[in-house]
Amino acid sequence: MRQTQCLIIGAGPAGLSAAIYTARAGMDTLVAGCEPKIAGDYDIDNYFGFPETISGRELIDRGMRQAERFGARLACQRVLSVHMAEDGAFLVKTDQDEYQAQAVIIAAGVARVRPGIANLADYEGKGVSYCVSCDGFFFRGRAVAVVGEGNYAANQALELTNFTSAITVYTQGKQPAMGEVFTGKLAAAGIAVSTAKIVRLSGQPALTGLVLEDGNEAPAEGLFVAMGQASALDFAKTLGVTARGAFLEADSEQKTNVPGVFAAGDCVGHFMQISVAVGEGAKAGRAAIAHIKERAGRAGAEAGGIPLDRTRLSGL
């Protein structure tokens, strides 16, 4: 498992802005995320300091180079899960690696791909869940399904093996897009992957079956939605971060209710502009720096007052 002090989820304006601050302060910083949605060939005319038009792609490229100049590492990796360890650190699993971090900044989007199941909302809390870590325990030994086509769905299905062996992944008619490693792990765990499409759910008062497009019905008491990539809201549910609807709750310093977890950018649901995301990222970075220093200070005191390494804990 790789170590880093600050792990930032999302390589958009908020994530890169946060990375510039944490890396410049001497914090070992990793930004996990691939090309953000703003990195397209469209014009931006209202960003401060650019009297000329700049494309979204160019602006992001400049931000990436600036973050790297201060020492941040950028990795095109999809974060699949984030869990808090007993000591308050965070265990982060991506589609390529695993990391332990002292602070996590969530700067990912909140859009969740819906699976196209007609009466899905009717069964939310009655068998339908979006968080294996939160609800997997309640389906011990029961037949469950995971809806999704990629590595995120595969990882959720594998996490479910802690509670049951009766697991099927449904891709909703899409071609499976799991990587070779995850495909092998699913096969080894005996988890079937079906391209069948679930159109409706059945059962009263809670879920008992999945009605497929061909008219057949498959038994299932639990359905975990994991379409596309994991979103900010998915991480929030796992960590216990308070949300309001589709957005994460963060205070004026971008702190969430979970110590060491910060949120910035579109995922907090404020005025969704690049300039706002950059400002929130800076605040999140500053708060993460303080948190990491505080953890290092406590560790030093517990170790008998060993002096802190000031080269790694330099200020802004």
The rounded distance, in Å, linking the Cα atoms of 95 and 249 is 27
Query: How does pLDDT run across 28-60, given as a tens digit for each residue?
Result: 999 999 877 776 677 888 889 999 999 989 999
Q: What is the pLDDT of residue 300?
A: 73
Question: Does one domain contain both 127 and 157?
Answer: yes
Please tell me the pTM assigned to this model: 0.83
Query: How does pLDDT run across 267-316, given as a tens digit for each residue?
Result: 999 888 899 999 999 999 999 999 999 998 887 777 665 454 433 443 34
Residue 49, by phi and psi: left (phi above 0), alpha (psi -120 to 50) or beta? left
Question: Does one domain contain both 248 and 271?
Answer: yes
Q: How many structural domains are present in the chain? A: 2
Question: Does one domain contain both 13 and 92?
Answer: yes
Question: Does one domain contain both 37 and 103?
Answer: yes
Question: Does one domain contain both 15 and 102?
Answer: yes
- Sign of CA pseudo-dihedral 100, 267, 94, 315: negative
Question: Does one domain contain both 220 and 254?
Answer: no
The rounded distance, in Å, linking the Cα atoms of 160 and 235 is 16
Question: Does one domain contain both 94 and 6?
Answer: yes
Query: How does pLDDT run across 56-87, given as a tens digit for each residue?
Result: 899 999 999 999 999 999 999 999 999 999 99
Cα angle 245, 20, 97 (rounded to 5 degrees) comes to 70
CATH number of the domain to which 24 belongs:
3.50.50.60
The DSSP bridge partners found for residue 44 are: 54
The rounded distance, in Å, linking the Cα atoms of 59 and 44 is 9
Question: Does one domain contain both 12 and 97?
Answer: yes
**Long-range own/partner contacts, residues 45-49 (CB < 8 A, 24 or more apart):** 46/273, 46/275, 47/274, 47/275, 48/275
Cβ atoms of 220 and 147 within 8 Å: the answer is no
Domain that holds residue 207: 120-225
DSSP states along 142-184:
S-EEEE-SSHHHHHHHHHHTTT-S-EEEE-TTSPP---HHHHH
How many residues can be counted in the chain? 316
* Domain C-terminal end among 163, 195, 225: 225
Cβ atoms of 224 and 146 within 8 Å: the answer is yes
Q: What is the pLDDT of residue 305?
A: 55
Question: Does one domain contain both 79 and 6?
Answer: yes
Query: How does pLDDT run across 84-122, given as a tens digit for each residue?
Result: 999 999 999 999 999 999 999 999 976 667 899 999 999
- Sign of CA pseudo-dihedral 62, 64, 67, 70: negative
* Domain C-terminal end among 191, 225, 259: 225
The answer, yes or no, to whether residue 235 has pLDDT greater than 60, is yes
Question: Does one domain contain both 60 and 205?
Answer: no
Residue 108 contacts by C-beta under 8 Å, 6 or more apart in sequence? 9, 10, 15, 33, 79, 230, 231, 232, 235, 265, 267
Question: Does one domain contain both 8 and 76?
Answer: yes
